[in-house]
Amino acid sequence: MTTLPTSTDRKLGLVIDLDTCVGCHACVISCKGWNTENYGAPLADTDAYGSDPSGTFLNRVHSYEVQPEQGEAQLIHFPKSCLHCEDAPCVTVCPTGASYKRVEDGIVLVNESDCIGCGLCAWACPYGAREMDAVEKVMKKCTLCVDRIYNENLPEEDREPACVRTCPAGARHFGDFADPDSNVSKLTAERGGMDLMPEQGTKPVNKYLPPRPKDTLSEGAGDIDILAPYLEPVAQEASGFLGWLDKTLEKF
C-alpha cells in the first residue's frame, strides 16, 4: 500500500555529524559495494571506463563552503542519502504500491518486482535520494541496509548500515529515534540535530548535527599556546632582492 502508516513502532534512521565528517567518501563506496552485492538489483555503472562514466549511488557526499558575515569560510562535507521521512512524498505518489514505509521500523523501501520505473517517486523526493538504475530500470534507494541490521548471520558489530560501519571518523550513527534514550535521540537533543528542507513538510527521520565553529585565525592568535610567542617570525621585513624591490617600489 502506498498510503503512509499513521505511526511506526520504531523510527530507525541515521544521525550524520557534519562536525566530524572528513569527506573521505568511504560511506559512498561501502554503500555501493554492499548494495551491489546483496539485496535487490545491483547498482549499475555505465561507461565506467569511458569518457562519460555514470552510476547509481544511494549515498553521495557533497561539499559546501559556508562564509559567515565575519570570520573565515568553512568547508563542510555533506553526505546525503534517504532520510526515511515520516511524511514521505515518494511513497504516496507511487501508482503500483512498490514504494512503501514499514510499520515496524519506519524504513522506506521499494519492492523492485512491482516497480514500473515511472520515476515519479524520484520527482517527489526533494533530496535526490532516489535514482533510477540505468540498467535494471527500477528505482533504487537506501534500504538502511535492511539486509544487515536484522541479519543474524553477521557478527553483532556488523548489524548496522554499511555506511555507519565503515565511517572512519565516526561521523555516522544508527539507531531508533522513537526511543528517547537511544544514542541517536541523545545526540540529536544534545547537539541540536537539524532537518533538511523543513519547509517541504516531509518530516525527515535522519538528522544532521551542525558543525562547530572552527576557524579563529584572525583573532586571538597569541592565545594558542604559551610557547607561541617564541615561534613568531624574527625578521618581519623582506631582505635581499625582494627587500630592494620593496624599497624601490615604495618610492614611486
CB of 62 to other proteins, least distance (A): 5
Please name the helix (run of DSSP H) or strand (run of DSSP E) that holds residue 208, with its range, or none: strand 207-209
150 CB-contact burial (10 Å; exposed 0-12 / middle 13-18 / buried 19+): exposed
Which amino acid is present at 222? G
Q: Is residue 180 involved in binding other proteins (CB under 8 A)? A: no
Of 132 and 178, which CB lies nearer to other proteins in the complex structure? 132
Q: Is residue 200 involved in binding other proteins (CB under 8 A)? A: yes
Q: Which of residues 17-56 bind other proteins (CB under 8 A)?
A: 18, 25, 28, 52-56
Task: Provide the mask over 138-157, with x wherever binding to other proteins is found by CB under 8 A and - wherever it is not.
Answer: x-------------------
Nearest alpha-carbon partner for 38 in 166, 147, 154? 147
Residue found by looking up cell 535514482 in the block:
131
Of 107 and 110, which CB lies nearer to other proteins in the complex structure? 110
Question: Cα dist. 180→117, 142, 169, 177 in Å?
Answer: 38, 24, 25, 7
Nearest alpha-carbon partner for 122 in 146, 88, 155, 152? 88
Q: Is residue 177 involved in binding other proteins (CB under 8 A)? A: no
The piece of 126-134, 183-191, 214-222, 225-233 that touches other proteins (CB under 8 A) is: 126-134
Which distant-in-sequence residues (6+ apart) come within 8 Å of 11 by Cβ?
A: 84, 86, 105, 106, 176, 177, 178, 205
Question: Applying CB under 8 A, which of residues 39, 64, 150, 244 lies at the interface with other proteins?
Answer: 64
Question: How many chain residues interact with other proteins (CB under 8 A)?
Answer: 69
Of 120 and 169, which CB lies nearer to other proteins in the complex structure? 120
CB of 104 to other proteins, least distance (A): 20
Cβ atoms < 10 Å from Cβ of 211: 17
Question: Applying CB under 8 A, which of residues 9, 22, 103, 117 lies at the interface with other proteins?
Answer: 117
The piece of 94-102, 156-164, 174-182, 219-227 that touches other proteins (CB under 8 A) is: 94-102
Q: Is residue 170 involved in binding other proteins (CB under 8 A)? A: no
194 CB-contact burial (10 Å; exposed 0-12 / middle 13-18 / buried 19+): middle
Query: Under the rule (CB under 8 A), what is the footprint of other proteins?
Result: 1-3, 18, 25, 28, 52-57, 60-69, 73-76, 78, 80, 89, 91-98, 114-120, 122-128, 131-132, 134, 136-138, 194-201, 208, 210-211, 213
